[in-house]
Every structure is written in structure tokens, then in C-alpha cells.
């Protein structure tokens, strides 16, 4: 099994944690002319020209909107409706990904705070339902973005299945520093919603795990495997590094 490349943040790989690489042969062939998403370019859209030839055999030739061409591995390309999951640690990147929402998308935003990302989403989406546990934040967000629907919900305790079922895209920002136990619980509660086109989740700890020990091609259907490996990864780091502890504020043990 191939190993994922090391990430520039320099986290060491703990012993006993296997790096993940999904087999390209199981990902399906692309069709010339179809629009796909490049995970290497943080969800930028491109059009498939066809399979690569010569030195690019085994890759796919794709074309950007500006006409530029490059050759990509199949694992870095996702069809629009394959349920892509992106986990980021950066607020700027989280907000930039709002640009991937389209005019036919119904968006659920979990943890809208004062509505900074909400304001970007309403400019692109068909509808936006935004949730936050703080009524003070919701008052400010309603004033800033009157076009969205705002609801007072605590994602850690509320049943969101009905809201998620009506969404095509979910953005989830619970502060970035939410302890891993709750972060994984929230993600696992979304795993049955295979209809989702895009799930963007902000978490410092889970972004570190993805960067160090998980394949960047990640879908909603992989959430069970993702959770299992994330728990093993952090347990190994705790065991291997005296003084390095898993954040547990507001959370108990990560879910099984």
C-alpha cells in the first residue's frame, strides 16, 4: 500500500497508524467533456479532455476555465456529486470554499457565528439555513444577512437529521478548536446522508490528522473509516509523546 506524502506542518507519523491510500482502480473512469472537481486545487472545477498518453499515461487530461491544461491523477478528481468532504483548520480557507456553492444548492451552515460565511453563501446558494447555539451571535447574523434562515440549535445535542436531509451542501464551523470527541460525533451524525454533494468541516485537530495520516480524497461514505483511524492516530500520539494530550474540553472519549 502506497503512503501519503508528508505534510509541511511536520507532524510525525505515530507507530502503528497505517497511512491511507484509496485504490484508483475502484474510483471509476471519467468521461471526456464532464465537469469534475480538483481536490488538489481546493475544489476548483475543470473539464475532462480524456486520458493522458505517453509520459502522462495513467493520468487524466483536464482543462481549466481559462484554457490551461494539466494532467491529474484520478484520485485527485471528484465528480460533482460524489459527496466530497473537506476538513480545514483555516477560517480563510473555510470561507473561500463558499465559492463552490452553486445556484441550485440548498445549504445548511452549522455554527454560523456572526454570519461572515453566511453572507458569502447567500450570494451563491438557492437557500441557506444557518444554525448557532448563541442567541447573541444569531441576532448579529440576522441583522447582517436577512436573506438567510437562522435557527438556535446546539449541534452537540440537537437532532439535525431533517435539516441535513433537505440540504445539498453542509458547512460546519464549531469554532475550529472543538475537542476531537465532539468533532467526530458531529461528523459521524452526518455519515448516513450520502446525498450530500459537499461537506466542509473546520477543525484544527482533525485537519492535522488529515494532513499527517489520511488521504485527501475523502467522501461521506468514508466517515466510519475516517473516525476509526482518527481515534487510532490520536491514541498513538498520546502514547508516543509524553506530555502530548488530546484536547477533551467539552468532550468525553471520542466515539467508537
Q: How far is CA 106 from the centre of its chain?
A: 17
Q: Which residues contact 186 (CB under 8 A, 6 or more apart)?
A: 110, 155, 156, 172, 174, 178, 201
Mean pLDDT of 40-54: 78
Distance CA 120, CA 184 (A): 26
The arithmetic mean of pLDDT across residues 28-40, rounded, is 75
Query: Of 114, 98, 110, 218, which is closest to residue 164 (Cα–Cα)?
Result: 110
Confidence of residue 178 (pLDDT cuts 50, 70, 90): low
CA distance 160 to 2: 37
> When comparing pLDDT for 256 and 119, which is higher?
119
Highest mean pLDDT among 84-98, 104-118, 184-198 belongs to: 104-118
Note the pTM of the prediction, 2 decimals. Answer: 0.69
Cβ-Cβ contacts under 8 Å for 36 (sequence gap 6 or more): 30, 45, 46, 47, 48, 62, 77, 78, 79, 80
Q: Are strands 35-38 and 44-51 parallel, antiparallel or unpaired?
A: antiparallel
Q: What percentage of the chain has pLDDT greater than the value 70?
A: 75
pLDDT at 125 over 50: yes
Q: How far apart are CA 96 and CA 6, in angstroms?
A: 24
For the chain, the distance separating the N- and C-terminal CA atoms, rounded to the nearest angstrom, is 25
The 3-class SS string of 6-63 reads CCCCCCCCCCCCCCCCCCHHHCCCCCCCCEEEECCCCCEEEEEEEECCHHHCCCEEEE
Amino acid at each position: 500500500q502506497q503512503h501519503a506524502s508528508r505534510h509541511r506542518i511536520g507532524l510525525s507519523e505515530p507507530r502503528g497508524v497505517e497511512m491511507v491510500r484509496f485504490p484508483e482502480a475502484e474510483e471509476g473512469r471519467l468521461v471526456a467533456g464532464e465537469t469534475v472537481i480538483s481536490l488538489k486545487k481546493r475544489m476548483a472545477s475543470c473539464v475532462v479532455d480524456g486520458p493522458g498518453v505517453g509520459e502522462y499515461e495513467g493520468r487524466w487530461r483536464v482543462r481549466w476555465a481559462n484554457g490551461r491544461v494539466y494532467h491529474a491523477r484520478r484520485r485527485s478528481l471528484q465528480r460533482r456529486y460524489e459527496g466530497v468532504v473537506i476538513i480545514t483548520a483555516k477560517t480563510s480557507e473555510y470561507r473561500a470554499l463558499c465559492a463552490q456553492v452553486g445556484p441550485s444548492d440548498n445549504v445548511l451552515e452549522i455554527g454560523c457565528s456572526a454570519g461572515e460565511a453566511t453572507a458569502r453563501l447567500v450570494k451563491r446558494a438557492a437557500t441557506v439555513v444557518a444554525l448557532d447555539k448563541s442567541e447573541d451571535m444569531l441576532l448579529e447574523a440576522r441583522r447582517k444577512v436577512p436573506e438567510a434562515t437562522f435557527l438556535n440549535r446546539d449541534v452537540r445535542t440537537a437532532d439535525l437529521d431533517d435539516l441535513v436531509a433537505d440540504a445539498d451542501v453542509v458547512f460546519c464551523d464549531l469554532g475550529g478548536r472543538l475537542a476531537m470527541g465532539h468533532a467526530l460525533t458531529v461528523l459521524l451524525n452526518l455519515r448516513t446522508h450520502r446525498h450530500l454533494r459537499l461537506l466542509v468541516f473546520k477543525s484544527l485537530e482533525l485537519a492535522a490528522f488529515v494532513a499527517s495520516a489520511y488521504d485527501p480524497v475523502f467522501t461521506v461514505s468514508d466517515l466510519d473509516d475516517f473516525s476509526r483511524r482518527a481515534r487510532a492516530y490520536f491514541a498513538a500520539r498520546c502514547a508516543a509523546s509524553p506530555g502530548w494530550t488530546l484536547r477533551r474540553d467539552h468532550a468525553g472519549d471520542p466515539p467508537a
